[in-house]
Amino acid sequence: MQARGPLMIEHRLIERMLNIVRDRLALAVKNKSIDPLFVDAAVDFIRTYADRTHHGKEEDILFRNLDTKELSAADRKVMNELIAEHVFGRNTTKSLVEANTRYRNGDASALEDIARCLKTLVDFYPKHIGKEDKVFFPAARAYFSEEEDQAMLSEFYLFDQKMIHEKYKSIVDEFGGKGK
């Protein structure tokens, strides 16, 4: 498997979640209400899986390794666009969390902000994923030897092994757990 393989497999799971979010959003608009726990679950998926796990591999490994290469101007431009898009996704998710908190606290008008954020995310991610799968990943592969590509793939697997521990350590830290 090439290093881009796990990233593309992750894209398929992200797309499946986006379809669920799209369906729940349609129901929320129709019913003029949304389950804040579903929004929490969607946020957790976006933050932990799509952003920290998936974008983490892209930014911390793939993009870092590409920074050591002489990229064409076009490829450098696309990589910078992808980085900016990751930031956009994080900012939109942060706005979603804020709106969901307001909604949970009784501000019915926050539903419009939740719907806007969810719509932004379900419209944004498929285009972002398409740019990576069809444009950037094939172009990026050309910069690496087979050995470099396989080393990245190994680093991706090591990165993933740390994720579950990182997630749950952050939960304990957030609740103020002290320990050794």
Choose the weakest-confidence range: 38-42, 91-95, 170-174: 170-174
pLDDT band at 152 (very low <50, low <70, confident <90, very high): very high
| pLDDT for res 138 | 96
Per-domain boundaries in the chain: 4-168
Q: Could you please state the CATH topology (level 3) that the domain comprising 4-168 is classified under.
A: Four Helix Bundle (Hemerythrin (Met), subunit A) (1.20.120)
What is this structure's pTM?
0.90
Tell me the per-residue pLDDT of 71-130, one tens digit each, with 9 for 90 and over.
999 999 999 999 999 999 999 999 999 999 999 999 999 999 999 999 999 999 999 999
CA atoms in the 13 A half-sphere facing the CB of 146: 1
